[in-house]
């Protein structure tokens, strides 16, 4: 929920003037980044307006800059971490462990023990601009044996997670297929008399551009189709967006300290 005083995002021209003023005032010749807090807030609002039923867990690995994480903390974000360092960074900002999930696709034992000791509330055991399907996750024929194995070891499975990677921004129908498959897994768990699953994690893969509203509609339609409100009132839907929040608010400011013309090329 956005509770802070609104900060307006800078226009491109304002940003350039601001960067020039820093370079002049500080005699700065080293490169530096400008973080636009107004833009972070706008993105947060865009997410909550388009996907109010999906709680975003910002994927820290996408950009672990502490000032940026602080902005996200103040906006009420929850965090998806995949290493000790990421958990420590978030805890150092005073974030309560119940606002963290540990979701590295492939975890070592010490990570799980550490997470248990500091208390992230959930572990995710599945699976960038990188296709995950071939490396992580489960095939449909593996689901029932996996569920049976968790029953045998008394593990409490609370839900299903998927990540359709960069394809999510373009092939929106992938959300329909993934959410349909989730529904099947929920039903298979019920047939095995397991406690009712209640968490659906739709992963990352969202881009902050104009395509976002189409992706968000695809998610909403699929949720409505496979998990209509009446039969799944206790369903919690979460996501692990990284790029969506981190790709736009940073601008690199740098002075040109040398240039040359090389045949038809100009090099700076
Ligand atoms: C498991 C997992 N979830 C979410 C993300 C964030 O992905 P994106 O930046 O495409 O939203 C990543 C990024 O690598 C990831 O590994």
Beta strands in the chain (DSSP E): 32-35, 54-59, 78-81, 100-102, 122-123, 159-161, 199-201, 236-239, 250-253, 260-262, 265-267
- Mean model confidence pLDDT for the chain: 84
> Can you tell me whether residue 105 is helix, strand or coil?
coil
Contact between 109 and 86 (Cβ < 8 Å): no
- Is residue 91 in some structural domain? yes
Q: What are the φ/ψ torsions at residue 137 (nearest 5 degrees)?
A: 90, 180
| pLDDT of the residue at 174 | 87
CATH number at residue 60: 3.20.20.10
Contacts of 171 by beta carbon, 8 Å cutoff, 6+ apart: 164
Q: What is the pTM of this model?
A: 0.82
- Is residue 266 in some structural domain? no
User: Which residues of the chain carry a pLDDT beneath 50?
Assistant: 1-4, 126-131, 167-168
For 80-105, write each residue's pLDDT tens digit.
Answer: 888 888 888 899 998 888 888 877 66
| pLDDT of the residue at 1 | 37
Pocket test for ligand 1, best of 63, 203, 205, 245 (most atoms within 8 A of CB): 203
| pLDDT of the residue at 136 | 65
| pLDDT of the residue at 85 | 87
Confirm or reject: Cβ of 163 under 6 Å from ligand 1. Answer: yes
> Can you tell me whether residue 240 is helix, strand or coil?
coil
Confirm or reject: Cβ of 205 under 6 Å from ligand 1. Answer: yes
| pLDDT of the residue at 130 | 43
- Is residue 267 in some structural domain? no
| pLDDT of the residue at 87 | 87
- Is residue 265 in some structural domain? no
- Is residue 268 in some structural domain? no
The residue whose C-alpha atom lies closest to atom 1 belonging to ligand 1 is 127
| pLDDT of the residue at 134 | 57
Confirm or reject: Cβ of 241 under 6 Å from ligand 1. Answer: yes
- Is residue 7 in some structural domain? no
| pLDDT of the residue at 6 | 53
- Residue 70's domain comprises 12-255
- Is residue 19 in some structural domain? yes
User: How many domains are there within the chain?
Assistant: 1
| pLDDT of the residue at 56 | 93
Which atom of ligand 1 is the closest one to the Cα of 126?
1
The owner of tokens 């601008």 is: 251
Which atom of ligand 1 is the closest one to the Cα of 124?
1
Confirm or reject: Cβ of 103 under 6 Å from ligand 1. Answer: yes
- Is residue 262 in some structural domain? no
Confirm or reject: Cβ of 56 under 6 Å from ligand 1. Answer: no
CA distance 201 to 199: 6
The residue whose C-alpha atom lies closest to atom 12 belonging to ligand 1 is 128
| pLDDT of the residue at 210 | 84
Confirm or reject: Cβ of 62 under 6 Å from ligand 1. Answer: yes
């Amino acid at each position: 929920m956005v509770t802070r005083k609104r900060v307006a995002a800078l226009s491109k021209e304002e940003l350039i003037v601001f960067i020039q003023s820093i370079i002049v005032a500080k005699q700065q010749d080293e490169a530096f980044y400008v973080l636009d807090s107004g833009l972070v807030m706008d993105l947060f609002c865009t997410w909550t307006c388009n996907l109010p039923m999906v709680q975003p867990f910002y994927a820290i690995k996408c950009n672990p800059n502490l000032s940026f994480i602080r902005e996200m903390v103040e906006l009420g974000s929850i965090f998806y971490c995949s290493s000790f360092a990421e958990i420590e960074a978030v805890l150092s900002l005073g974030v309560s462990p119940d606002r963290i999930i540990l979701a590295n696709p492939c975890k070592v034992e010490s990570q799980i023990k550490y997470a248990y000791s500091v208390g992230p509330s959930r572990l995710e055991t599945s699976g960038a601009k990188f296709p995950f399907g071939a490396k992580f996750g489960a095939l449909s024929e593996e689901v029932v044996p996996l569920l049976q194995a968790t029953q045998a070891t008394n593990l409490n499975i609370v839900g299903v997670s998927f990540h359709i990677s960069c394809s999510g921004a373009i092939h929106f129908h992938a959300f329909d297929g993934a959410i349909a498959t989730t529904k099947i897994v929920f039903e298979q768990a019920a047939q095995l008399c397991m406690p009712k699953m209640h968490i659906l994690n739709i992963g990352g893969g969202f881009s902050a551009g104009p395509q976002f509203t189409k992706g968000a509609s695809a998610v909403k339609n699929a949720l409505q189709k496979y998990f209509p409100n009446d039969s799944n009132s206790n369903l919690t839907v979460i996501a692990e967006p990284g790029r969506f929040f981190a790709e736009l608010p940073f601008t690199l400011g740098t002075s040109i300290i040398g240039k040359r013309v090389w045949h038809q090329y100009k090099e700076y």
